[in-house]
Amino acid sequence: METDKTVNESSSSAAPSRESSVLWAGRLAEKPEAEAFAFQASIRVDRRLVFDDIAGSRSHVMMLGKQGIIPAETAGLLDGELARIAEELAAGKLDVDGEAEDIHSFIEALLTRRLGDAGRMVHAGRSRNDQVALDFRLYLKRALALIRDEIAETLRVLLNLAEAHTETVMPGYTHLQRAQPVTLGHWICAWASGLERDSSRLTDARKRLDECPLGSGALAGSTLPLDREETARSLGFARPTLNSMDSVADRDFAIELAADCAIIATHLSRFCEDIVIWASEEFGFIDLAESWSTGSSIMPQKKNPDFAELIRGKQARTAGNLMTLLSLLKGLPYAYDKDLQEDKEALFDSLDTVRNCLRMFRGMMGSARFNVTRMAAACIGGFLEATDAAEYLVRKGMPFRKAHETAARIVRDCIEAGQKRIGDRSLEQLKDCSALFENDIYKALEPINCVRARGLPGGPAPVEVRCQIDVLRGHI
């Protein structure tokens, strides 16, 4: 993903300008028409694998040299030229040829143009099938680390907010109806818990990415004495893949990452839905920074939470990309099929989307202000303290079902009398419902005390939320 910025775009795909860039021209007398060639070319998408392709080729040629498959000097020459190509690309002195068929053909053609016969030796014992599987895995290992970093940064922002708001009471909801008092810190820790699991899912997926397919060839390895352990080691993989057909045929690692991305995007979409609701005039819990809001072209008064809405909407892409990959793999005959070329665009889009969404979400949250007075005020009037009243009676020995009925009756009495909270009833009125009520009920039903009394592990009590923050910080 970051390679995009360093590789310059060049002209769009058309018929190949140089014969040498088509690796299979020897077999077929007739060339495809320009439009057909462009249809099957993948350079537009796989150009971002360029540095991974070069890394893979460097490891491959050095191994070919060590094994005596090509002369050692030729291996050194090829390795040096590949390093130069990478430098030139990074410095913007060389562009990826947008007319090449794919990134693999581009690099091999370039080597051949620069080094002649030495360039023609690079593909010994290799196929684009194991090459692309390798490049993809190398790229994904890097991309995955970048997303984990974005999650960690986002968690830092969220947990600082949570820490500042462990005593900020607000209504918690079920069915979007006021349910029980919580704190903003508790709510944010709920979000953070999901993101932390997202990060651990990526760590887990990395294990399955960490096998090197190089040496699998087109599907059945090679008759040449390749050293698969050596290339796997030099490219930083834990081990070579077990089976050469599986290596070129499967993309379960891509499906898995697309699912991981879709889960992250689903989490973000829910957090953003909360934000959109909170930003409404009716709630007024959050005031998004002006720089993280947009206006309306017609309604002069508008300040819209577009960023939150768009992050919410981007989830659709990631869900679609996951479906694309599942459908792509379904029913494909073993081993490699050209269908697999469609894998990268979908997953690249999910990775880019999730990375951008995390960055935007973080910026939006870091600059937002919370209206703690509105939040506290919203705890009054919805009888969020009703469960606390019932549990008060349970603590005094009343069976829960009876306590529930008693509290419900008090709520009905309040509504009839136009009272906003259970604490508005006199002790006499309360005692009419149950003799177990004493003066201490009034303190117990204050929202902050309802929250403080919920000190079970995982609960909203400030001391408990501070523990949750510590645990989550420990995972960053």
**Both tokens assigned to 411:** 């709520």
| Total of chain residues touching ligand ARG, rule CB under 6 A | 9
Which residues does 355 contact at the CB level (< 8 Å), separation at least 6? 1, 146, 147, 150
**Both tokens assigned to 463:** 């001391």
Alpha-carbon distance of 254 to 273, in angstroms, equals 28
Name the residue nearer to ligand ARG (CB basis): 129 or 353: 129
The region of 66-74, 175-183, 336-344, 354-362 touching ligand ARG under the rule CB under 6 A is 336-344
| DSSP code at position 421 | S
Q: Considering the complex, what minimum distance in angstroms separates the CB of residue 101 from ligand ARG? A: 8
Residue found under tokens 């699912």: 259
- Please give the span between the terminal C-alpha atoms of the chain, in angstroms, as a whole number: 23
Tell me the catalytic residues.
175, 296
Name the residue nearer to ligand ARG (CB basis): 132 or 465: 132
* 53 near ligand ARG (CB under 6 A): no
Q: Interface mask (CB under 6 A) for ligand ARG, residues 343-362, using x and -?
A: --------------------
Alpha-carbon distance of 361 to 357, in angstroms, equals 6
Distances (CA, A) of 123 to 35, 40, 137, 337, 365: 27, 21, 19, 20, 50
Q: Considering the complex, what minimum distance in angstroms separates the CB of residue 87 from ligand ARG? A: 25
Contact between 150 and 464 (Cβ < 8 Å)? no
The region of 230-238, 315-323, 333-341, 419-427 touching ligand ARG under the rule CB under 6 A is 333-341
Name the residue nearer to ligand ARG (CB basis): 63 or 132: 132
Name the residue nearer to ligand ARG (CB basis): 243 or 341: 341
Kind and range of the H or E run holding 117: helix 117-120
Q: Which of 78, 94, 132, 364 binds ligand ARG (CB under 6 A)?
A: 132
Q: Considering the complex, what minimum distance in angstroms separates the CB of residue 331 from ligand ARG? A: 17
Alpha-carbon distance of 334 to 313, in angstroms, equals 36
The region of 235-243, 274-282, 304-312, 337-345 touching ligand ARG under the rule CB under 6 A is 337-345
Distances (CA, A) of 395 to 9, 238, 297: 71, 57, 58
Alpha-carbon distance of 71 to 66, in angstroms, equals 9
Q: Considering the complex, what minimum distance in angstroms separates the CB of residue 386 from ligand ARG? A: 60
Name the residue nearer to ligand ARG (CB basis): 170 or 335: 335
* 341 near ligand ARG (CB under 6 A): yes
Contacting ligand ARG within 159-218 (CB under 6 A)? none
Q: Which of 128, 165, 362, 452 binds ligand ARG (CB under 6 A)?
A: 128
- 3-state secondary structure (DSSP) of residue 363: helix
* 102 near ligand ARG (CB under 6 A): yes
Name the residue nearer to ligand ARG (CB basis): 102 or 464: 102
Name the residue nearer to ligand ARG (CB basis): 118 or 257: 257
The region of 124-132, 395-403, 412-420, 443-451 touching ligand ARG under the rule CB under 6 A is 124-132
| DSSP code at position 100 | S
* 338 near ligand ARG (CB under 6 A): yes
Name the residue nearer to ligand ARG (CB basis): 3 or 293: 3
Contacting ligand ARG within 18-47 (CB under 6 A)? 42, 46
* Of residues 374, 391, 377, 369, the one with CA closest to residue 437: 391
Q: Considering the complex, what minimum distance in angstroms separates the CB of residue 70 from ligand ARG? A: 22
CA–centroid distance for 239 within its chain: 26
The region of 108-116, 127-135, 300-308, 311-319 touching ligand ARG under the rule CB under 6 A is 127-135
| DSSP code at position 419 | -
The burial class, CB within 10 Å (0-12 / 13-18 / 19+), for 315 is buried
Q: Which of 129, 154, 318, 350 binds ligand ARG (CB under 6 A)?
A: 129
* 135 near ligand ARG (CB under 6 A): no
How many CB atoms are closer than 10 A to CB 14? 13
- C-alpha gyration radius of the chain: 30
Contact between 56 and 214 (Cβ < 8 Å)? yes
Q: Considering the complex, what minimum distance in angstroms separates the CB of residue 123 from ligand ARG? A: 12
Contact between 115 and 85 (Cβ < 8 Å)? no
Q: Considering the complex, what minimum distance in angstroms separates the CB of residue 102 from ligand ARG? A: 4
Residue found under tokens 């995007």: 265
What residue ranges bind ligand ARG (CB under 6 A)?
A: 42, 46, 102, 128-129, 132, 338, 340-341
